[in-house]
Amino acid sequence: MQTQRRTAGTDLWFVTNWFEGKLDEIAQDPHVNVSYYKDRTRDWVSVSGKAIISRDRDLIQGLYKPDWKAWFPEEEGNPRRDGGPKDERIALILVEAQLVTYSKTNKPLPLVLFEVVKGMVTGSAPKVADVRTLTESEIRTAAVLEQNKGSEAR
């Protein structure tokens, strides 16, 4: 699955096929973790939260992108499976973040390499990144600030 562009009121969201097994797993236990890793910098983000399954056709219509057709190929003779925004297979997984932990490299690459080599020589773990955590209340506060900032720009 690929994270979709941000939208107001949702932390993360994904497009999925209603008829595949992933939604059964979420229905049994909606607690999820979504992780991202950037190999070049070794920065990472871990998002723990609650998944919500949505088949809201208006929401799907508003978020729909033509490239989704690649994942929902047209089935000849079945007008409800044309890969378009009204395709019955399309469902959304909305993730409400409850805890976000991330690392952010705080040094340029040459210094990171130096710290790693220094750690190997001295036997001490190198500190090449800051690890930070955002709580649910901090996430909600940031979302409100972002939403207010967006409405002021209009």
Topology of domain 12-153, CATH? Pnp Oxidase; Chain A (2.30.110)
Q: What does the mean pLDDT of the chain come to?
A: 88
- pLDDT over 70 at 151, yes or no: no
Residue of 84, 103, 85 lying closest to 45 (CA atoms):
103
- pLDDT over 80 at 3, yes or no: no
Q: How confident is the model at residue 129 (pLDDT cuts 50, 70, 90)?
A: confident
DSSP string for the chain: --PPPPBTTBSEEEEEETTSTHHHHHHH--EEEEEEEETTTTEEEEEEEEEEEE--HHHHHHH--GGGGGTS---TT-TT-SSSTT-TTEEEEEEEEEEEEEEEE-S-HHHHHHHHHHHHHHS-----EEEEEEEHHHHHHHHHHHHHHHHHH-
* pLDDT for position 146: 76
Give the tokens for residue 30: 């909606």
Q: In this predicted model, what pLDDT tens digit does every residue of 19-48 receive, in sequence order?
A: 988 899 999 999 999 999 998 888 999 999
- pTM of the predicted structure, to 2 decimals: 0.76
* pLDDT for position 150: 63
Q: Is the distance from CB of 125 to CB of 119 less than 8 angstroms?
A: yes
From the CA atom positions of the chain, what is the Rg in Å? 20
What is the rounded CA–CA span in Å between residue 21 and residue 33?
Answer: 17
**Burial profile 127-144: b = 16 or more Cβ within 10 angstroms, e = fewer:** ebbeeeebeeeebeeeee
* pLDDT for position 1: 64
